[in-house]
Amino acid sequence: MRVYENANKKTRELKAVYCNKCKKEIKITRGILMEDVYHGEKEWGFFSDKDGEIHGFDLCEECYDEFISQFQIPVQTKKKKEFLA
C-alpha cells in the first residue's frame, strides 16, 4: 500500500509504503525506498467480475518469496544485463 503526500496534486511525494500482507513498513528516505518491494497493479477488464477496477498492492521481499513458493510453476527469472550507472 502506498501513501502519498499531496495525494490530489500532480507533484505527489511517496510518504510511506506498507506490505499489504504483513503490514511491515518499508523505510523511505527522501522519497526513495530503502528496501525493494514487489508492486502489483492490475486493471480488470470486461471479462471479469471487476470490470473497470484497478487493484494495486505491495509485498515485502519475505512475503513475495512466500507467495511465489506456492506456485505450481516457478516464476520466470531473467538476469538484467545492464545496470545504469
Grid coordinates belonging to 10: 500532480
- We find the least distance from the C-beta atom of residue 58 to Zn ion, in angstroms, to be 9
Is 37 a binder of Zn ion (CB under 5 A)?
A: no
Q: Smaller CB distance to Zn ion: residue 17 or 19? A: 19
Q: What is the torsion angle, in degrees rounded to the nearest 10, for the CA atoms of residue 60, residue 11, residue 51 and residue 61?
A: -10
Tell me how crowded residue 63 is: count the other CB atoms within 10 A of its CB: 17
- We find the least distance from the C-beta atom of residue 23 to Zn ion, in angstroms, to be 7
Tell me how crowded residue 10 is: count the other CB atoms within 10 A of its CB: 5
Name the DSSP class of 71: -
- We find the least distance from the C-beta atom of residue 24 to Zn ion, in angstroms, to be 5
Is 63 a binder of Zn ion (CB under 5 A)?
A: yes
User: Contact positions toward Zn ion, by CB under 5 A?
Assistant: 19, 21-22, 24, 60, 63
